[in-house]
Chains A and B, each alone.
Chain A
Amino acid sequence: MGPELQAHIAFHLTGKRMSAGLQAAGGLHLRPGLLARYGDLTRLRYDFPLVLVADRADQTSIQSLSALVNKILQDIAPRGIEGEATRRHLLRLEREIRTLAANGETGTLSRLWDLAAKRIGAPDDSALAGSLSRARAVPQVDGEVVDCTYRLPAQLVTHAWTALQQRKAKRRSLEFKRLIVRLSDILQADFIRSRAGTSAARLKASVGTGMEGAFDFEALSNALAQVSGKDPLPAGRRQRVQQALAVLIARRSGTQADIGGPDDLQSCAFANCRDALAAFRDRLPKIIELVKAMAIAELEIEGRYVEATHDPFFADFDEGSVGTKDLSLLPDYLVFIGSESLHGPENAGLMEILASEMPFKVVVQVSDVLEEPALRAHLGPVATAAQLGKMAMGLGNAYVVQSCSSHLYQARGRILAGLAHAGPALFSVFSGSARHAGMLPPYLLAAAAMQSRAFPAFTYDPAAGPDWATRFAIDGNPQPEADWPVHEFAYEDEAHQRVTEQLAFTFVDFIACDPRHAGHFAVVPRAEWNGSIVPIGSCLKSDSSPGGGAIPYLHMVDGDHVLRRTLADEKMLSAAYRCREMWHGLQELGGVRGFRARPVTPAAPAAVADSTPAAPATKAVAEEAEPEPRSDDPHIDTPRCTTCNECTNINNRMFAYDANKQAYIADINAGTYRELVEAAESCQVAIIHPGKPRDQDEPGIAELLKRAEPFL
């Protein structure tokens, strides 16, 4: 075994560089090979920047600049060569807007559009100006332009939440109006029917000018006195209606902090769970009062208020009587916290919120998934903040969306669904932070976290169905059926030939982006590249436990775009295995790779199948075995009776109707055989069977028997 190999093995097992050959990874500005192509994001066409469109409460409230430009091009640029110039102009503009946004320029799309147009020389170039003005003429949306920065999660979720709250406020206002109008109608109707409402003065006012002279209002009022004033609204009902009306009118004016109009949204956004919970508890009595008033109003409007049953219920109306749907009209509470502030009482507050039914939407921005554990117990990085989402799912009640900030555009549907969900929701978003990103822009760091399964995306919707299969989804992740996503990696070898490889982007690649952990990596000089070091993807592919014998390396690219092979030590490998385990768990839950829990008793369904055929068999036998009523007994096929009254008109004590108004023989002794035969003859559907006569001495029995023959 050569000395180089020994040094490699030593580094892999211990993490310490023993020879001069291996170089330290830090200071070389290394980044994973697969990220090498994404040096300058402004030269790429991708989802960002986003445009946050105001006044929309659905998915179109968050749009991507590229998608918008594509749509404009579809409208104004014909296919083929004529549209080429327009396409080029517009794409240049898009790139300029992207650069502006990446450099921190803020503002609406129209503002950035104008700025960018000026920068690329639109006023001077008439062709360019022409294309741009045609593009501008297409009806467009406008909104705030945001890039993938560390503030993106807060901006995006606040935008979506604001739109939803405004829509809710409109619905609320409409609902209050409806209840107020209907309750007022009750009081109004009662007034119109009362003596005061039919006084001469009121009658005169209701006729209006012009026709006043035609009526004698005193006489009219006296005539109405005979019917008015009778049956007024009971005092209890009047009081209930008036109280409910008072509460609703007070709330509708929207000055109360608990039920606010659109400009009161700030009272519902908080920076920590403790404050949010405290505010909710403070406002709870007013909320209870409002829900109670609304329930009473609905009952009174439908005329279904029953004092005996409902009075005791409303007397005890407290927070236990208020359900999630009742709160669905009231504003939601939005809480923003950074993962580093989640400890102690804040954590407890978060768990309390997520386990409840209160309409709280919590956004936890995770800036770091690779904290070193407090005790350096040779464990390497542990991703604890990434587990918050899974813990929340375990509570079963909350809508959970876990995502990275790079993926927020694709996840917008889920985010809106979570915000619209009736109960609590948790949005756990990894955005990274400048301190630990090394050279990577926030977008790439977040994307790397998702690709490497360090922070996989998933959604848990408790209302989607009864089981995990319907509630849980991991389809937002790249290549969800694989351990790690595999991409094509192309580079140039010494002979200037193009070589392509299939590279996996693993957890170790992600750790390599973080300068804090540079000590776990060592660069192998070109001269020492040999077959005993293998790409880390194939090392991890084997399902064997750590210590397989091969020494893993990563493809990394330095500041000069030169490919380097970088060894990773054993702690990295263990961390990767742990990460893979957790990812496998998510795959199992999400039904990928067919890891569903095996059925416990496969024999049971067969047993059930055996027993059910027996039941219909016995029932069928019973039906057959049921003795046909002897044709001697008079009877009626009651289910076929058409209620035509023929038989009941003949004798309504012998023939009667059952609960379904179909005839049967109620009392055979209440009539004669003659009446039975007559009824059989007049029955429209011939379902009366007279049977044999009980009294053989009845007059004309022979003739009756002959007549009864066809009906036996």
Chain B
Amino acid sequence: MTTRAHECLMRMYEEEHDLESYQGSIPRWCSGCGDNAVLAAVQRLCRDEKLRPEKTVFVSGIGCSSRLPHYMKTYGFHGIHGRALPIAEGIRLARPDLHVFVNTGDGDCCSIGAAHWIHAIRYNMDVTVMVHDNQIYGLTKMQASPTSPRGLRSKTTPRGACLEALNPLTVTLGIQNVSFVAQAVDWIPELIYDILSRAFHHKGCSFVRIVQRCPEFLPELLDPWLHDPNRILLLTHEKGLQVSAALGKVYKNQLEHDPTDLDRARAIASAGDPMPVGILYQNRAVPRYEEMRAITPLRTPELIQRGLETEFDKFTVWPREPAD
């Protein structure tokens, strides 16, 4: 009915931020890089949700994608290769009051970070994960990544990649405890924003794969999907995304898909072409690890001291009685 006094008081004084106040350094991505679209969408999200910069943190690994924390004027953690997710999980446990976002790439998440990826989905901690999937190792100047299509010629696959590309969507949907999987494409900024907004509001590990163009190394790879709207399959539903009229006029290939239907989500994810865009799966009932393992005794100095004393007492050496 009524709120506590301090909650009223906090609402009395709410700060408004505009997009610019979330801008850190000037982005150094190549012009035309899809990372710029993701950055703009994320800044819009922070502004619209009125996220306090000191309560927001962006965690990344290594790659072009992982430069994003530098360009946000919030807390950031540019970690080591493949370890963005475990660092984010640690932050979530230590600072449950922060909003945690993860920026990782197809190499950082699906290659070196594959082990952490599987378990991050299982733990289902409340983080928003953005996988900037440009299907190449960009920062290291063009090597094939797990999501590179078969036949791609790169510096490590001069005769063309011989393996079929990994599908991050089907892998994630196959992991126990998965609670939110969505796919966006960087040339439809309105949907990036909508999907990221839903991912942010979802309480759990929100996995968003953003299919992204690399204008430097793979300038034409995604042209067929870029130029032909019918090769994009928009997933709409009252529980999922609702598409605006203007967008619906351009992208007519739409499918009504209930995000709670896991089997159908897996089928859609496997199909590949047309490229599904929207929320594939959402399950609000999956518990979050940080809540299951919340530490209830408050860590007061007395508690810590008692714990230390108990441990030290195990090693106390008592003087031996002199033998007679």
Contact = CB atoms under 8 A, between A and B. Distances in A.
Interface of A: 174, 177-178, 181, 291-292, 294-296, 298-299, 302-304, 306, 309-310, 313, 321-326, 357, 422-423, 463, 623, 639-646, 649, 659-662, 682, 684-686
Interface stretch (B2-10, B136-144, B268-276): B2-10
Contact of B10 (A174, A304, A423): A304
Interface in B26-45: 27, 31-34, 36-37, 39-40, 43-44
B208 to A, nearest CB: 16
B76 interface: no
28 contacts: A177-B300, A291-B5, A295-B5, A298-B6, A299-B6, A302-B10, A304-B10, A304-B13, A309-B12, A310-B13, A313-B12, A323-B2, A323-B4, A324-B2, A325-B1, A325-B4, A326-B5, A623-B245, A640-B190, A642-B34, A642-B40, A643-B36, A644-B31, A644-B32, A644-B36, A645-B31, A659-B19, A661-B40
Contacts of A294: 5-6
A465 to B, nearest CB: 12
A322 B37 contact: no
A643 B31 contact: no
A325 B12 contact: no
Contacts of A323: 2-5
A643 B10 contact: no
Contact of A181 (B2, B12, B189, B298): B298
Contacts of B2: 323-325, 357
Interface in B200-229: 213, 215, 226-227
Nearest to A658: B19
Nearest to A181: B300
Contact of B186 (A174, A306, A642, A662): A642
A313 B10 CA distance: 12
B4 A326 contact: yes
B213 A309 contact: no
A310 B9 contact: yes
Contacts of A325: 1-4
A181 B297 CA distance: 12
B187 interface: yes
B18 interface: yes
Contact of A645 (B5, B13, B18, B36): B36
Nearest to B44: A660
Contacts of A177: 298, 300
A685 B31 contact: no
Contacts of B115: none
B190 A639 contact: yes
B189 A640 contact: yes
A506 B223 CA distance: 83
A332 to B, nearest CB: 16
Given A306-B13, A310-B13, 5 more contacts: A181-B298, A295-B5, A326-B4, A643-B36, A643-B39
Most buried by B among A177, A292, A303, A423: A177
B19 A309 contact: no
B216 to A, nearest CB: 12
Nearest to A302: B10
A323 B3 CA distance: 7
A463 B189 contact: no
Most buried by B among A304, A309, A423: A304
A176 to B, nearest CB: 10
Contacts of A646: 31-32
Which 7 A-B residue pairings sit nearest by Cβ, starting from the closest? A642-B37, A298-B6, A643-B40, A323-B2, A661-B40, A295-B6, A295-B5
Contacts of A644: 31-34, 36-37, 215
A659 B44 CA distance: 9
Contacts, number: 110
Contacts of A292: 5
B246 interface: yes
B188 interface: yes
A463 B1 contact: yes
A315 to B, nearest CB: 13
Main SS at interface, chain A: helix
| Range for the number of chain B residues in contact with chain A | 35 or more
Contacts of B43: 661
A335 B189 CA distance: 62
A295 B190 contact: no
Contacts of B9: 295, 299, 304, 310, 313
Contacts of B12: 309-310, 313
Contacts of B187: 640, 642, 684-685
A186 to B, nearest CB: 14
B34 to A, nearest CB: 7
B190 to A, nearest CB: 6
A599 B44 CA distance: 46
B31 A321 contact: no
Contacts of B301: 181
B40 A662 contact: yes
Nearest to A182: B298
Interface in B155-189: 186-189
A463 B2 CA distance: 11
A296 B6 CA distance: 7
Nearest to A322: B5
Contacts of A682: 31-32
B19 A295 contact: no
Most buried by A among B6, B27, B188: B6
Nearest to B188: A640
A74 B19 CA distance: 65
A299 B11 CA distance: 11
B15 to A, nearest CB: 9
Given A294-B6, A313-B9, A326-B4, A643 B298 contact: no
Contacts of B300: 177, 181
Interface in B276-321: 298-301
A252 to B, nearest CB: 11
Contacts of A641: 189
Contacts of A296: 6
Contacts of B190: 639-640
Given A177-B300, A659-B19, A321 B5 contact: yes
Contacts of A643: 36-37, 39-40, 189
Contacts of B298: 174, 177-178, 181
Interface string B41-85: 001100000000010000000000000000000000000000000
A361 to B, nearest CB: 17
A640 B33 CA distance: 15
Contacts of B31: 644-646, 649, 682
Most buried by B among A309, A423, A649, A684: A684
A660 B36 contact: no
A362 B108 CA distance: 63
A300 B186 CA distance: 41
Given A291-B5, A642-B186, A659-B19, A685 B226 contact: yes
Contacts of A326: 4-5
Contacts of B215: 644, 684
A323 to B, nearest CB: 4
A324 B1 contact: yes
A642 to B, nearest CB: 4
B10 A642 contact: no
A660 B40 contact: yes
A292 B8 CA distance: 13
Most buried by A among B40, B188, B190, B245: B40
Nearest to B250: A640
Contacts of B188: 640
Contacts of A639: 189-190, 246
B67 to A, nearest CB: 14
B79 to A, nearest CB: 25
Contacts of B54: 303
A684 B13 CA distance: 42
A116 to B, nearest CB: 40
A422 B40 contact: no
Contact of B32 (A309, A660, A684): A684
